[in-house]
Amino acid sequence: MILTVTPNPSLDRTYEVPSLDRGEVLRATGDRVDPGGKGVNVSRAAAAAGVRTTAVLPLGGPPGTLLAELLGAQGVDVTAVSIAGLTRSNVTVTEPGGTVTKINTAGPELSAAESALLLDTVRTCSGAAWIACCGSLPRGLAPEWYAEIVARAHEGGARIAVDTSGAALLAALPARPDVVKPNVAELAEAVGRPLATLGDAVKAAEDLIGLGAGAVLASLGAHGQLLVGPEGAFHGTAPVTAVRSDVGAGDASLAGFLIAGGTGPAALASALAHGAAAVQLPGSVMPTPADLRPAAVRVTDAPPLDLPLTPA
CATH of the domain at 98: 3.40.1190.20
Q: Is residue 309 part of a domain?
A: no
Instruction: Flag residues of the chain having pLDDT under 50.
Output: 312
Q: What 3-state DSSP class applies to 271?
A: helix
Q: Residue 147 is part of which domain span?
A: 2-300
Q: Is residue 206 part of a domain?
A: yes
Q: What is the pLDDT of residue 126?
A: 73
Q: What is the pLDDT of residue 79?
A: 97
Q: Is residue 236 part of a domain?
A: yes
Q: What is the pLDDT of residue 191?
A: 98
- The residues pairing with 179 across neighbouring beta strands, listed in sequence order, are 161
Q: What is the pLDDT of residue 311?
A: 59
Among 300, 180, 182, 181, which Cα is nearest to 236's?
Answer: 300
Q: Is residue 242 part of a domain?
A: yes
Q: Alpha helices, DSSP H only, in 30-144?
A: 38-48, 61-73, 112-124
Catalytic residue annotation = 251
Q: Is residue 156 part of a domain?
A: yes
Rounded CA-CA distance 47/76 in Å is 6
Q: Name the domain count of the chain.
A: 1
pTM for this structure?
0.92
- Contact (Cβ atoms closer than 8 angstroms) between residue 265 and residue 226: no
211, with CB counted inside 10 A (0-12, 13-18, 19+), is middle
Q: Is residue 305 part of a domain?
A: no
Q: Is residue 307 part of a domain?
A: no
Q: Is residue 145 part of a domain?
A: yes
Spell out the residues 6+ positions from residue 259 whose beta carbon is closer than 8 angstroms to its own: 2, 46, 49, 51, 270, 274
